[in-house]
Structure 1
């Protein structure tokens, strides 16, 4: 797995990498997985073809946000995910659910892949990543509270 230069805490980086690696291994027809920040910075990726993960990262946050905007504008509510179905593959992208929606995850798969399987497995990976983010945020809040109480004493 190749990592981006985004500076994440080691525990959080490990959780993201594990979720991505397991997603990539669960479906043999997956050609790649990318985690990016919502503003398009590459966090982690596994790419088996010539696709540029930096460019994918730059686009998937905007793609998910656009899907959400279209859902609201058309009064069908917030989009859950976005799928690009092309002649040589499909790309699935969704926001990582957490208290602070910091990341998006996408999966690139061969056109013969069962879309339902890709949706399910990517959603599961996104939930794992979201739980790791929430756990890290809770640790940070606990540390800040402990530091504040020590400073007051």
Structure 2
């Protein structure tokens, strides 16, 4: 399996095995998509760019309001959630979930997935973006 294929498989498994999770994407801090399993109406490149913008703004807010380093950026709408978390220094995980999902369970699953993605990227030197 290719490196991107392995990330794609990790995301596919996450979306399929977690009820209420509607999509997920792994993107670079610069807004480039690495892998995604998104709803069909969502554009992968646009979603990745918005994720980078969320990260940049979230980090600035954290700094300006003296909240420290950001653990996650959480957007709640009437139709669900978007959660952006770090997967190490070279990637971020965006998770989309329905409004019915239990937040505590979602955050736990996201934390575990973030570690899995970070480990997979460290294990493959070709993922290095620097």
Shorter-chain TM range is: 0.7 to 0.9
Residue of structure 2 equivalent to 1:149: none
Q: Equivalent of 1:43, from 27, 31, 34?
A: 34
Supply the distance in 1 between the matched residues of 2:124 and 2:40 (Cα, whole angstroms). Answer: 32
Supply the distance in 1 between the matched residues of 2:76 and 2:17 (Cα, whole angstroms). Answer: 21
Deviation at residue 49 of structure 1 after TM alignment? 4.8
Runs of 4+ displaced beyond 6 Å: none
In the TM superposition, 1:56-95 aligns within 5 A as 56-95=47-86
Residue of structure 1 equivalent to 2:109: 121
Q: Report the RMSD for the aligned CA atoms in angstroms.
A: 2.0
CA deviation vs aligned residue, 1:90-123 (integer Å, no higher than 9, x gap): 10111212xxx11111111111111122211122
In the TM superposition, 1:4-153 aligns within 5 A as 10=2, 12-97=3-88, 101-137=89-125
Q: Kindly tell me: are residues 49 and 110 of structure 1, through their superposed partners in 2, closer, same or farther at Cα, counting changes over 3 Å?
A: farther
Larger radius of gyration: 1
Structure 2: tracts of 5 or more residues without a match: none
Deviation at residue 14 of structure 1 after TM alignment? 3.3
TM superposition score normalised by structure 2:
0.86
Q: Is the 8 A contact 1:81 1:95 kept in 2?
A: yes
Deviation at residue 77 of structure 1 after TM alignment? 0.5
Q: Is the 8 A contact 1:93 1:106 kept in 2?
A: yes
